[in-house]
Amino acid sequence: MYDSWRPKPGDRIFRPRRIQRYRLRRVLGVPALFSAGYGNVGSSIYYALGIVALVAGGATPVALGIAGILFIFTALTYAEGTAMLPEAGGSASFARHGFNDIVGFTAGWALMLSYIVTISISAFTIPPYLGFFWEPFKDSPLIGTLASMGIVFFLMIINVIGVKETSFINIGAAIIDIVTQVSLVIIGFILIFSPAVVWHRIIDNWPSPENLILGIALATIAYTGIETMSQMAEETRQPGRRVPQALILMIVAVLVIFAGISIVSLSAMSPEELASEWSRDPVAGIAASLPLALLRDILKPLIAVLAGTILLIATNAGIMGISRLAFSLGSHKLGPAILSRVHPRFKTPYISIILFSLIALLLLTPGFFAANVFENMGALYAFGSLLAFMFAHASIISLRVKKPELPRPFKLGWNVRISGHEIPISTIIGFVATGVIWLIILITQPYSRWVGIVWMIVGWIIYYFYRRRQRVPLTHLEEEPGKLS
């Protein structure tokens, strides 16, 4: 009887709704990955040196060096995680697989904050370098801040319309930037480097223990770009092999160049000059201190143009990263779908671009009247990025315990065996170090503490009501068959 049943007019047949997942095209190789990551990391030296000098004084190279060691551990953690889980999302993706959805959202929301601050701080440091051509850009807080806000607003419109940044531009800018920075380091060591001067400036301006630790925390802003490369894994050919290669290549380039520039800077100027006159454009300060007029005449405009270009690319990369991260969170139901809504004409996630660009503009407004806005932005970036890094380390440890069977094209060595599980020593150190430094930022920096806490609370409220409305559990969402849970 049941076999002969046929639907009759008026009958309604319910079919389960099939979830459509959008995949990004895998077209990127190691050069494109490296250039995208270095576009962020290479740009950060143009302002990180001054931010760290504000609190670390003569210990600026030491703070950058210690943060560089943590950068190695974090980059290696991301290499294993991205090779294992080659999807957009970075630390949010690691945390979702390693723990559950709410932890994944927390990591992603913290990462969202660091992207927003990257937009603000990169745009904030463009006018001082362009001050070589027109002094009010550097000397006037009103003009400089207005110019920074204009840059963010312009890039917001460009990204909504959908004018795309190409890998060719990224690669070209990264090559020119590396060549210029290496040349500046070599010239600096030849013409102005003095071990005695550097030593006395370090010893005579050694900070308090609290300021040294804060300087290390702020120095983490110099090592942005890890998340950018991880976010691009879903667009990379053979990500299990090429993302770790690009990350390791970036480790070498970044540590060599940053070490050289930080040491040369203390030969070129005192920590007081670095933290005041040249705080927002420290690399320009090095060029201005060269003894040969011909070199100064060549390098000063070159660095002004190059720094402005690289920082503009970094600002734009922050806006692009926001949209990519929002799309990833939305596709896994970790955030409202409206954030990943695509414009019907321009085919861009315009709501997330506009919303987070406006928040970045809001973070720039203290530039009109606050003296310590630069330091505050650095500490706020550290709040978000260190929290995301901490979740990344914890997630890799969790995945080693919960899912040791997962394929790991790149697997960290130097493991300790705990309860029968291999746990990477570098990941343990990275987790403890980032956690401790994040707590220090939380305790000692009131601006980043309250802005960061409010940001996280707002995110959790949005997440709670969104999941309740979707009628899915707060901690876990069933995946499609065959997918990682």
Long-range contacts of 480-484 (CB under 8 A, 24+ apart): 480/19, 480/21, 484/85, 484/97, 484/403, 484/406
Mean pLDDT across the chain: 84
Percent of the chain at pLDDT exceeding 90: 37
Tens-digit pLDDT profile for residues 303-360: 998 888 888 888 887 887 787 788 778 877 888 878 878 788 877 788 888 999 999 9
Cα–Cα dist 332/323, whole Å: 14
Query: 482 lies in a domain?
Result: no
Tens-digit pLDDT profile for residues 88-132: 678 888 999 999 999 999 999 998 999 899 899 999 999 999 999
Query: 20 lies in a domain?
Result: no
pLDDT band with cut points at 50, 70 and 90 for residue 186: very high
Cα–Cα dist 282/274, whole Å: 6
Of 354, 347, 349, whose CA–CA distance to 338 is shortest? 349
17 pLDDT more than 50: no
Query: 218 lies in a domain?
Result: yes
The range of the structural domain enclosing residue 186 comes to 25-470
75 pLDDT more than 80: yes
- In 222-381 the beta strands, taken as DSSP E runs, fall at none
Query: 5 lies in a domain?
Result: no
Cα–Cα dist 93/244, whole Å: 17
230 pLDDT more than 80: no
Our count of domains for the chain comes to: 1
Query: 14 lies in a domain?
Result: no
12 pLDDT more than 50: no
Tens-digit pLDDT profile for residues 251-264: 888 888 888 989 99
Query: 13 lies in a domain?
Result: no
Query: 443 lies in a domain?
Result: yes
Buried b (16+ CB within 10 A) or exposed e, 204-223: ebbbeeebbbbbbbbbbbbb
> What integer pLDDT is reported at residue 313 of this predicted model?
82
CATH number assigned to the domain comprising residue 306: 1.20.1740.10
Query: 155 lies in a domain?
Result: yes
